[in-house]
Structure 1
């Protein structure tokens, strides 16, 4: 440990119980911070030479002013929201009351799988050195994601092997857009590596690039709000592929987390899959009814929360889909869609609150049940 690290704050000896696990927090590099970690030749031949532009109109409220971020999350000095670990710590951990946050950096999706892998490698090194290090994770509240390119399975497996032993890496992070669907055997090495290292595989929605953008059968949508609905359809197709192509039968301990794909749609999908299985079970080749696989292997984050005008409709949906088994709390910090845990907990059925807010997170990510106490932290429970 260097002299500089010795001068940093140390975790308290007193422990406090974990009561909020936030499954979706977005760190971003400061300007110029990431480049040194991207391996050559892609640092120079791809990322320094390719211009970046919007792939579709992004119509989030106040985007022109705040880039769809909470206006209070911009650090001093002109950096972007999510680039200051200390500010995120104050706003998310101290003020909002989250106890452990799963960090999910954005990996630029490219048309070349090898270039996407190079970016993932750079992101992993950057995250370890700028968020999970002794200086910025002295409080032991940050947990990282091993970013990989699912369309480059060989390098993905090597990346998982390189980082699986890191004490603060808690999941593998992939995208849903690359084709073919996840039931294809080419992805089996990634599922096998996840099972070998006992890590969940998380999928955060992404806009993709070129032909990897999520596209309905009728063609590309016109606006961003069309795409936001399309992401749920994309997740539904991946779930069907995982189940009907036998991935969970081949890897009985595999855990999949869908982040920001919404979740209320899973209830009618389970009904429909179960109906097909009852009628054609002998043809499907799977060992159990599809809804059983969902409840055992798949988790969803709460944000975005589909909130109907009649709250009782949401309560009934929670009960029917057995939300206490499949949901993980998430805030989506620092985006404008941020859900404060103190707000979200009020909208959960009482019997599901503990499981959704922290118990499911502890189980899914193999997190500790206690963390070092912090002076001044607001408590949700």
Structure 2
């Protein structure tokens, strides 16, 4: 029998605004969610900033859905039973749920509101999705804008076998190596939980070198820059030296970006070593002991070329993620031409080790 796959990036729609209102203690936020639960577009201005988008959320603008009732898609992507059946059919033994609508959280104002939304989301995720399932696992969403509340959320789920990672969305106010965020890393390391940093879906905070580009295609193409900037900032601010047991998974932008920025960081470190005296324990492979990268989304290259990239990155640092059901998602069959041992390592074994599955 074929070994089961571990999918580290699965997007689901968990939010129910009426339910969240009941889980949030602050009356002002309860009222906002109650109002939004009754309007036609509850996401607008609540989780999704009112910014026009070029493409659809999921894959509903694909040709095969031309004659489909799109409300059916919305229902299935918020249905745990649908996901359970879909994952089983795809031989997915374990799936990490990384949300979808919550990717827009960093674009909101009000740190207290964002922390409350994250906490309510985690409760719904535990209650309706991962609690009843042996196949699906959760990531504890925290808002970086409120590190104190983030630490509380991590400690709340630290010993919960259904919640196997901390989840941070990028595109926040400060680069992620800033000491303001260090309590989050300390709490995650103490809880022996890896931190998944997933690229965000909003365009409010600076995410690329062009700030807010004119076109969505420009923005989406440049999103790996956000991971690059945060990676370098964490390395040179000593995050992995202060917390040597911390493991970080960089999700949502593939893995290839890490090669170029890792090489540059190594080279320029040698020129400015006195300025950053604590880092070189990790050189020349700055990330090998602490960082992992999801394969999602795969680049459109020949199998041999991708395998070469992966060998240079370090095959032990790669985790399969499908990105399901987004338009740029991948399939396990995309790895069919890989060497069997490498395929097994990426599709299963590395994730077993990182998430202690």
TM over 0.5: yes
Alignment of 1:340 onto 2:325 = no
Aligned to 2:10: 25
Q: Secondary structure at the match of 1:99?
A: strand
Aligned match of 1:152: 146
Show the counterpart of 2:41: none
Q: With CA pairs under 8 Å and 6+ residues apart, which has the higher RCO, 1 or 2?
A: 1
Larger mean CA deviation between 218-227 and 95-104 belongs to 218-227
Alignment of 1:231-250 (within 5 A): 231-250=223-242
Contact preservation (8 Å) 1:21, 1:361: yes
Structure 1 position 299, deviation (Å): 0.9
- 8 A Cα contact 1:21 1:357, kept in partner: yes
2:58 and 2:237 map into 1 onto residues whose CA distance is 43
Deviations 1:167-194 (A, max 9, x none): 2000011111112212211111111100
State the Cα distance separating 1:266 from its structure 2 match: 1.1
Q: 2:80 aligns with which of 66, 78, 85?
A: 85
Aligned residues of 1:146 and 1:163 also touching (Cα < 8 A)? yes
> Aligned ranges for residues 152-301 of structure 1 at < 5 Å?
152-208=146-202, 210=204, 212-216=205-209, 218-285=210-277, 286-301=279-294
What CA RMSD, in Å, does the superposition of the two structures yield over aligned residues? 2.8
The equivalent residue for 1:8 is: none
Deviation at 1:335, TM superposition (A): 1.7
Secondary structure at the aligned position of 1:172 is classed as strand
* Cα distance between partner residues in 2 of 1:315 and 1:17: 22
Q: Decide which of 323, 330, 336 is 2:321's aligned counterpart.
A: 330
2:22 is matched with which residue?
Answer: 36
State the 1:331 CA deviation. Answer: 0.9
Distance 1:363 1:238, change over 3 A: same
What does the per-residue CA deviation read over 1:84-106, in whole Å, with 9 as the maximum and x for residues that have no partner? 1111111122x211110001124
Question: How far off is 1:316 after superposition?
Answer: 2.1
Q: 1:17 to 1:118 in 2, by over 3 A?
A: farther
2:348 is equivalent to residue 354 of structure 1: no
Gaps of 5+ in 1: 1-15, 368-381
Specify the SS of the correspondent of 1:23: strand
Q: Is the 8 A contact 1:194 1:201 kept in 2?
A: yes
| Partner SS state of residue 287, structure 2 | helix
Alpha carbons 1:20, 1:97 under 8 Å: kept: yes
Q: Classify 1:287/1:76 alpha carbon distance in 2 versus 1 (closer, same or farther; 3 Å).
A: same
Count of residues paired in the alignment = 341
The separation in 2 between residues aligned to 1:204 and 1:67, in whole angstroms, is 24
TM-score by length of 2: 0.86
Superposed structure 1 runs of 4+ greater than 6 Å apart: 62-65, 72-76
What is the alpha-carbon distance in structure 1 between the residues aligned to residue 91 and residue 203 of structure 2? 36
- Report the Cα distance in structure 2 between the residues aligned to 1:225 and 1:81, rounded to whole angstroms: 27
Distance 1:159 1:71, change over 3 A: farther
Q: Which residue is equivalent to 1:375?
A: none
Matching residue of 1:119: 117
Equivalent-residue separation in structure 1 for 2:25 and 2:202 (angstroms):
21
Could you tell me which residue of structure 2 aligns to residue 374 of structure 1? none
Corresponding position of 1:378: none
